[in-house]
Amino acid sequence: FPSHDRALLIVSHGLTWAEPTPASLSGTATIQLKNSDSPQNLGGMDIVLAPPSLIPEIRRLRMETWRTEGLAIQRKSDGEEQPVGIKIDFADGYRNLDLKALSQAAANAATARTRTSTNGTFAFSSVPPGTHALYAQYKSRYAVAYWLLEVNLSAGKTNQLNLSQTNAAEIFNRFIKKTP
């Protein structure tokens, strides 16, 4: 063999297909309630990473599950309507939000899941780098919120993202009236 062929063989033999260096994502989830002086840590909240296609899917579900006439109506793929629950009274501030349908769609699409610790912190490790949809939701007697964010995770580093009322997709927050 001429010497340049041998060099080429050595170089081409040395190439291996490696998985891209994984990424990680960490942050804190807090919410500022109307009747509280400081942000609350959101412990025990499920957070999902999924393909970016989850974002239009959640938006579509959000539009299709507006509650009407005492029932929530969901359209099946064939166009038929089916009731999915009783109407939530507007007085509770939740504006016809069907969190069960949204969280089910997120769970079905999830590529990674985690739960916030009691102090609201969360972390995903060994996630493929690139663009992901992040979905999280919070519900209490005082507030309900969900997050639907596109996150771009860089390989080999810990990406930071804090969830708060400033980047929530929707948030409904009530005062608890203090009796005089």
What letters, b where the CB count within 10 A reaches 16 and e where it falls short, cover 75-110?
eeeeeeeeeeeeebeeeebbeebbbebbbebbeebb
Helices (H), 38-123: 54-64, 99-109
Strand 121-127 relative to strand 143-153, pairing: unpaired
Per-residue confidence in pLDDT tens, the chain, 180 aa: 555 554 444 444 445 555 568 999 999 999 887 777 888 999 999 999 999 999 999 998 887 755 444 445 566 667 666 555 544 444 444 556 788 889 999 999 999 999 999 999 999 999 999 999 999 999 887 788 899 999 999 998 889 999 998 999 988 876 555 555
What pLDDT, on a 0 to 100 scale, did the predictor assign at position 179?
A: 55
Q: Residue 118 contacts by C-beta under 8 Å, 6 or more apart in sequence?
A: 41, 43, 44
- Dihedral pair phi/psi, residue 125, rounded to 5°: -120, 160
Distance CA 154, CA 142 (A): 36
pTM of the model: 0.72
Supply the pLDDT for residue 159.
96
Query: Using an 8 Å Cβ cutoff, are 129 and 154 in contact?
Result: yes
Q: What is the pLDDT of residue 60?
A: 87
Output the pLDDT for position 92. 43
User: What is the pLDDT at residue 12?
Assistant: 47
